[in-house]
Structure 1
Amino acid sequence: MPSIRSLVAATFVASLSFAASAQAQEVEDHSNLTVGVGAAVIPSYEGSDDYRVIPVPQLRGKVHDFAFWTRGPALFVDVIPNRSDDGIDVQLGPVVGARFDRTSRKRTKDDAVAALGKLDTAIEVGGFVGIGKTGVITSAYDNLSARVTITKDVAGAHDSMIVTPAIEYFTPLSIRSFVGLGVSADYVGKKYGRYYFDVTPDQAVASGLPAYDRAGDGSGFRKINLNLTGGYSLSGDIRRGWTLFALGGYSRMLGDYADSPVVAIAGSKNQWIGAVGVGYTF
């Protein structure tokens, strides 16, 4: 379900998760909390070639092996406790989030896209399922996971579904540092394309962009995402205390979504993100 903002936060939180999960191996009640805050440079809207800076606060933790985490304006709760001695982590639970793409003309930046009109905030509710394994390639502490998230807007904005498959890999380089790589894609329903990427004849007159009605013709993959994350402990141990994080990400808009005037004329198919932050693990 991630928008550009959610993609930044998802990558940032994924980096926080390594420190939190490593610490959990040493805590008897398997409870921990990681709090992070960062600043990210992101496109002003999905498909834009203008950029802006946003704050990225994050929270992740476990209570007696029941995990929860935020990814941008979304909350995930894993209802299956992680108590396997073989490093297997089965994930299943609800997710609820919000999408603020183009809900403010000022934040949209591009005058032509802003002239298309403000969009409503989408409230996306659904669930996720996944599986992870610790100790797979480089050491007993690296982690490979796969997850699929399915949500639907219940607020009457785009009123469509979003399916996001993702694969993530994280490995420690030492007791003080780690790196991670993530790949994901976003599959959306036809109403999503119609809401965010079509341009009606009236909007074409107001904005100067050509009319466009192909993005809402059917469901499809709207973009693919690749990100790289790194972290370095200021406390000497990535399992506790303060850690610095950095990330870089690239997204490619696909198909009829990339061909929309919102992207092809006013914006760009190539989307870049960057962020730095600091987190503290208790």
Structure 2
Amino acid sequence: MKTKLLLLAGAGLSLLSVPALAQDAVPPPSAIPDPETADPRGDFTIVGVGAGILPNYEGSDDYGFSPVPAAIGQIEGFRYSFLGNRLSVDLIRDGYGPTVDLQAGPIGVIGFNRTSADAIDDPQVALLDERNTAIELGGYVGIGKTGVLTSDYDRLSATISYRYDVAGAHDSGILTPTVAYTTPLSTKALVGLFLSAERVENGYGDAYFSVSAAESLRSGLPVYDADGGWKNYTIGFAGAHSLTGDLTGGLQMVVGGTYRRLLGDFSASPVTAIAGSPHQWLGTVGLAYSF
């Protein structure tokens, strides 16, 4: 087994998952591959699909199920990830072993928030105008450190991204700082957690949290004008456990969960405070295969 694959597969699977269903003991040094013989740029791919439970819309207290496809991997040292509605590529090749690496590359997100009234259970919010599908394009930069606390194989990273809607859904930008930590418990299990926040511009607040006079007449919700600002913070937990093979090859069970708290104008908006809740939960469970 290659050390690089263990580290990257673990980091990738943590994006799909929460604490492992079972925790194997940390392997002894003899189970850890020799850095001198491992390939630092070994290619790998993780593909998976899960079932996610998430709010009907941002700010909703009604929930529904949705499929969650994913693919994460590395080609010639360049890492990529596709998670549900998000695609990113790291254009800076990583270092090897316990080291510091820089991250930078493009990111794209497709936003489906309130694009269909049929998908909204709340009768008042369902009477508001439907929103267009957002296509948010931008980039991110970050720094990561492997070998931090528990072993040479855990990883701490900090990133910041900015993306802008180019499809006319909200015509504004979103800034997202994130801190994440992942640690393998063995060659078959890992756990991780992350903390992030989002700061949005006025167009986003107006599109998804304002209520116009016409919408107020139809829905009964009060008129409201939302501005931009810090929209939320999110805490997430992740985990994976191999069902066959290990984290670098075979079938894994992945689970995950996040708690998101809406803030300021976004918490006070009628679509949240009256029709929904500022407390947002998301959970996923699925299978992934790595090779």
Q: TM-score normalized by structure 2?
A: 0.86
Per-residue deviation at 1:236?
Answer: 4.1
Indicate which of 202, 206, 220 corresponds to 2:218: 206
Query: Aligned match of 1:270 in 252, 258, 279?
Result: 279
After the TM superposition, which residues 9-20 of structure 1 pair with which residues of structure 2 at under 5 Å, given as runs?
14-15=15-16
Cα deviation per residue 1:115-163 (whole Å; 9 max; x = unaligned)?
0121001110100001111110011111111111100001111000000
Give the counterpart letter for 1:187 in structure 2. Answer: R
2 CA distance for matches of 1:114 and 1:177?
42
Contact 1:32 1:281 in 2 (8 A): yes
Name the CA distance, whole Å, in 1 between partners of 2:119 and 2:212: 22
1:108 to 120, 137, 143: 120
Larger radius of gyration: 2
Q: Distance in 1 between matches of 2:196 and 2:263?
A: 13
Taking the aligned partners of 1:15 and 1:211, their CA distance within structure 2 comes to 39
What residue is the counterpart of 2:266 in the other structure? 257
| Structure 1 letter corresponding to 2:154 | D
Residues 27-42 of structure 1: matches in 2 within 5 Å?
27=39, 29-42=41-54
Question: Structure 2: 5+ residue runs without aligned partners?
Answer: 1-10, 18-31
Change (3 A) 1:234 1:85: closer
The Cα of 1:15 is off from its aligned counterpart by 4.4
Is 1:158 the counterpart of 2:163 in the alignment? no
Deviation of 1:83 (Å): 3.0
Count the aligned residue pairs: 264
1:199-238 → structure 2 map (5 Å cutoff): 199-213=211-225, 215-216=226-227, 219-238=228-247
1:89 to 96, 101, 109: 101
Matches within 5 A, 1:29-108: 29-108=41-120
| 1:34 to 1:27, Cα distance in 2 relative to 1, 3 A | farther
What's 1:196 paired with? 208
Counterpart residue identity of residue 234, structure 1: L
| 1:237 partner SS | coil
CA contact (8 A) 1:38 1:56 kept: yes
Whole-angstrom CA distance in 2 between matches of 1:264 and 1:12: 35
CA positional deviation for 1:28: 6.2
Instruction: Tell whether the 8 Å contact from 1:50 to 1:110 is kept in structure 2 after alignment.
Output: yes
- Distance in 2 between residues matched to 1:122 and 1:40, nearest whole Å: 21
Aligned match for 1:243, one of 252, 255, 276: 252
SS in structure 2 of the partner of residue 111 of structure 1 = coil
Counterpart of 2:15 in 1: which secondary structure?
helix
Kept after mapping to 1: 8 A contact 2:14/2:190 = no
Seq. identity, %:
45
| SS class of match (2:124) | helix
Whether contact under 8 Å (2:144, 2:155) holds in the other structure is: yes
Give RMSD over aligned pairs. 2.0
In the other structure, the counterpart of 2:161 is 149
Per-residue Cα deviation, 1:243-266 (whole angstroms, up to 9, x for no partner): 101112111010011000000000
Equivalent residue number for residue 7 of structure 1: none
Deviation at 1:71, TM superposition (A): 2.8
- Structure 1: state its 5+ residue gaps: 1-9, 17-21
Instruction: State the distance in 2 between where 1:142 and 1:13 align.
Output: 12
Distance 1:220 1:67, change over 3 A: same
- Cα pair distance change 1:90/1:256, threshold 3 Å: same
